[in-house]
Amino acid sequence: MIDATAVLVIALALAGAIQFLFWQRARRGQERLAGRLVTLEREQRLAKADAESAHQETAQIADASYDPILVVDSERRIRRLNQAARDLFGVGEGSLGTSFIAVTRSHELEGYLTAALHGEPRLDQQLTLDQFTFRARIVRHTGNDGAVIRVVVTLNNVTELIRLTRARRDMVANFSHDMRTPISSIRLLVEMLRQNLGKNPQGDQTKLAKIASATDSLQHMMQELLDLSTIESGRAIMRMVETTFGDILSRSLEMMEAQFEEKGLTVINEAAMDVRVLADPDQVRRVINNIFHNAVKFTPKKGEIVISTAQTTSHLAVCIKDSGPGIPPFERTRVFERFYQVDGTRSGAADSRGRGTGLGLAIGKHIIEAHGGRIWVEGGIPSGACLLFTLPLA
């Protein structure tokens, strides 16, 4: 009887031990599984973070570009667009998923997208968007099965490049044109002198004076061109000093006195001479001298030049007004371009001082802007030109 009980106890104990062993193994298995799950989750999280960071990095690189970039899917829906593209088309993040044409509103660009989707894997085209000229590159990307995954459209704004190329071409053309006249008159005069030297001493003197004048205008042209390139390349150093506006102006008035007198011009100076400005007096004087020079050139005899000033909290505005023919409204920004001369000025010389080169105001604009000021033209009242510029107060 005792034996049976003992056997039962032993059997029960054995069963318990076996169950315990099984339970322990199962628990260890569960723990291992849980551990694996945690690792898996961590790996997934890391992979997701990596993908997110890569996505962010690509977006940041794209946003750093000056060029608008758009990524379009095979259904012509916007998948991505960088900051420059959002700025150009005036759209936000919400435009993702909308159609390419709805964002770009350009049928020309849509046409190139069609060509990229169905034909050319890569296109380079020039087009105009919003008054700017762009070079568009449209590249199609396909998967292994040949199906289109995406099309990447990059737009490079070449407006400024085209303008500069044109300006350089114009400059060379204008400069050679402007040099031709004095050079050919020098050649002609020298030839005449060579053939008839000494036969008419007075005539010889006149011819020599004409040669000197033609040489002067060539020299003036060269000097201006040199000045302009020095200023434009940033090599001209502005030596800013605190000075009164009167200091700058009175020297200019002195230098121009003979020319004003010769032309019988009345100069009325209403400027606030004791206002202190921060400026390079020599450079600002060049600006003023050219404005005076223009006023003398273009104002008929017995005309008038009025100089006045006005003051804001930060700047002194100077206005030099003449009673000449004035500058037509649509030419008022163009006169600050290199070589630009209002029609009629280029041909018929307005005055014995010659036609000029059309560089004076371009140089003036650079100088004033280097001072942190602004220069512009307004119409005179009732007629004439009114040149205005600002200088920072000291």
Report the nearest approach of Mg ion to the CB of residue 290 (Å).
5
Among residues 240, 246, 230, 235, the alpha carbon closest in space to that of 280 is found at 240
C-alpha span between 319 and 334 (Å, rounded): 19
Quote the distance between the C-alpha of residue 240 and its chain's center: 25
Which residue, 278 or 319, is less far from ligand ATP as judged by CB?
319
To ligand ATP, the closest distance from the beta carbon of 358 in angstroms equals: 4
64: left (phi over 0), alpha (psi -120 to 50) or beta: alpha
Question: What residue 385 binds from ligand ATP, Mg ion, none (CB within 5 to 8 A, per partner kind)?
Answer: ligand ATP
Minimum distance from CB of 367 to ligand ATP (Å)?
Answer: 12
Identify what 182 binds: ligand ATP, Mg ion, none; CB under 5 to 8 Å per kind: none
**Using CB distances below 5 to 8 A depending on partner kind, what does residue 95 bind out of ligand ATP, Mg ion, none?**
none
Residue 281 near which of Mg ion, ligand ATP, none (CB within 5-8 Å, type-dependent): none
Residue 145 dihedral angles phi and psi, to the nearest 5°: -85, 0
CB of 357 to ligand ATP, least distance (A): 4
Cβ-based nearer residue to Mg ion, 210 or 355: 355
Q: Which residues contact 264 (CB under 8 A, 6 or more apart)?
A: 301, 302, 303
CA angle 173, 174, 178 (to 5 degrees): 120
- Tell me the C-alpha distance between 288 and 90, whole Å: 43
CA distance 101 to 123: 18
Positions touching ligand ATP (CB under 6 A) are 224, 290, 294-295, 298, 322, 324-327, 335, 340-342, 345, 356-362, 385
Provide the binding-site residues for Mg ion, judged by CB under 5 A.
290, 294, 356, 360
Q: Which residue lies nearer to ligand ATP by CB, 82 or 341?
A: 341
Q: Considering the complex, state which of residue 103 and residue 350 has its C-beta at the smaller distance from ligand ATP.
A: 350
345 interface partner picked from ligand ATP, Mg ion, none, CB below 5 to 8 A per type = ligand ATP
d(CA 371, CA 257): 27
- Residue 325: name its binding partner from ligand ATP, Mg ion, none (Cβ under 5 to 8 Å by kind): ligand ATP
